[in-house]
Amino acid sequence: MSVLIRNGRIVTACDDYVADIYVENEQISQIGRGLSVKADTILDASERLVLPGGVDPHTHLDMPCGDISTTDDFETGTRAAALGGTTTLIDFANQTKGRSLIEAFETWLEKASGKASIDYGLHVTITDLPDERLSEMRRLVDEGVTSFKLFMAYPGRLYVDDGILYRAMVQASGLGAIVMMHAENGIVIDEIVAKTRAMGHMEPRYHASTRPVRMEAEAVHRAFAIGEVADCPVYIVHVSSADALEQVTLAQSRGLAAYSETCPQYLFLDETAYDREGLESAKYVMTPALRERHHQAALWQGLRMGRIQTVATDHCPFSFARHKAPVGTDFTRIPNGAPGIENRMTLMFHGGVVQGRIGLNRFVQVTSTNAAKLFGVFPRKGTIAVGSDGDLVIFDPNRELTIGVNNRLTHHMNVDYNAYEGMRVKGFVETVVMRGRVICHRGEFLGNAGSGRYLKRECHSKCGAWIQ
């Protein structure tokens, strides 16, 4: 298959120019004005932006949570991601306590096989790490798993103590890998939760008040401190508050390999969502919780100034009718998570570029390039250059639409609500090309389940220094 895209305004993390792009044998082979080549498919991108395919480094597809699972699997989730302009994602393979890290990796490979329609990588989540399992981290790096996630929250389930954090970081450092941290002080939070429940406070709004921002900030500080001693790069997932970002900034100012991610929910939504009538507020039970609105300005500034490197979705969808509403009168039983894999690119263009918070090049950096660099798939992914994969998005910067669960241009996720319901946005993913094949066009999915490939990723030590 070959594709010629004509007359587009090509925008990368550092470029902005008008030219044609020719993709053959799955890779970009020529870029220039007035290219004279034959192609199986010719697309006119006049008055459109041509962007690198989005890279979402934080999703949870087909993830068990007790006796239920997230409602998007690798087929429905990657389809929705593609329609939203994301052509690469990195999901989490979660270790079962007491079981093998290799088993977790192989389980998630099986989940994705034959279903994923875009390319994907895997992080592995560590929930325990006795000495005899340390060698498994090396085996995983050999398989292209070059990032490991650990939790400072959820005691009894995902939580690991500081000793395990240090042990994992030392091993990761020696392997050239990066450690991702869910940074909240779960021990203290559980004490606050117990006290709140004892007082009879059970409504969804108490999910937010029992997870104070200082407990996020404290955990971020501690994660970087342990990482410094272990000489390990640390990436904080879903930074939600100015307090946590302050600790990121402090670590970066001290010259540490300190990185951070935020998500659209923390840039566009706030804690007033927990004031909605009835059980509607249960839709917004996610971790970290939504914060007071003033934190949004700090996060946008962090994106603009380079303190926050990436915008991911933490896509973790559960059905409102089947999963959240039935337990909505007890905030501790509501499954944590919200959908968003499809809306990230448009939201960030609207809130960032259209509303003047970040420029076009920075938009590409935080939605594609930086994640590709941090997690070892650059320059294959995350840019538009000769030799890179032909993953491209033709983006209409002027089209306006309203996000909603019933709008087939904005919602293909397998979940019965949209966290951004009713939001009017400017910017539309018109056409998506993955490795030289058109897989989405004007809201119609043209790809195939199973066409996505597993990505063996390079070590962070080989490409992390390229971050801007």
CATH number at residue 204: 3.20.20.140
Q: Is residue 376 part of a domain?
A: yes
425 is a domain residue: no
User: What pLDDT sits at residue 277?
Assistant: 87
Q: pLDDT-based confidence at 468, cuts 50/70/90?
A: low
Least Cα distance to 105 among 464, 454, 378, 461 occurs for 454
* In-domain check, residue 199: yes
Give the model confidence (pLDDT) of 398-452 as tens digits: 999 999 999 999 999 999 999 999 999 999 999 999 999 999 999 999 999 999 9
- Say whether pLDDT at 463 is over 90: no
Provide the pLDDT for residue 321. 98
- pLDDT above 80 (res 461): no
Give the number of C-alpha atoms closer than 13 A to the C-alpha of residue 171, restricted to the C-beta side.
Answer: 24
Q: Is residue 194's pLDDT more than 70?
A: yes
Q: Residue 168: what pLDDT?
A: 98
pLDDT for 116: 98
pLDDT number for residue 278: 84
User: Is 396 part of a structural domain of the chain?
Assistant: no
- pLDDT value at position 464? 55
- β partners of residue 44: 6
Task: Please check whether residue 315 lies inside any domain of the structure.
Answer: yes
Q: Is residue 202 part of a domain?
A: yes
CA 265 to chain centre: 12
Instruction: Say yes or no to pLDDT of 462 above 70.
Output: no
Domain range for 338? 52-382+456-466
pLDDT average, residue stretch 64-86: 97
- Total number of domains in the chain: 1
30-47 pLDDT per residue, tens: 999 999 999 999 999 999
Report pLDDT for 53: 98
**pLDDT the model gives residue 386:** 98
The answer to whether the beta carbons of residues 268 and 422 sit under 8 Å apart is no
Give the percent of the chain with pLDDT over 70: 98
Contact of 418 with 401, CB cutoff 8 Å: no
411 in any annotated domain: no
| Residue 442 and residue 54 in contact, taking contact as beta carbons nearer than 8 Å | no
pTM higher than 0.75: yes
- For residue 447, tell me if it sits in a domain: no
Q: Give the separation between CA 147 and CA 225, rounded to whole angstroms.
A: 19
Question: Residues in the chain, how many?
Answer: 468
pLDDT tens by residue, 163-183: 999 999 999 999 999 999 999
Mean confidence (pLDDT) of the chain: 97
How does pLDDT run across 195-252, given as a tens digit for each residue?
999 999 999 999 999 999 999 999 999 999 999 999 999 999 999 999 999 999 999 9
DSSP state of 375: T
Please say if the pLDDT value at position 460 is more than 90: no
Q: Identify the H or E element spanning 43.
A: strand 41-44
Q: What is the dihedral of CA 289, 290, 296, 301, to 10 degrees?
A: 20
| DSSP character string of 128-164 | ---GGGHHHHHHHHHTT--EEEEESS-TTTTB--HHH
Looking at this protein, which amino acid is placed at residue 227?
A: G
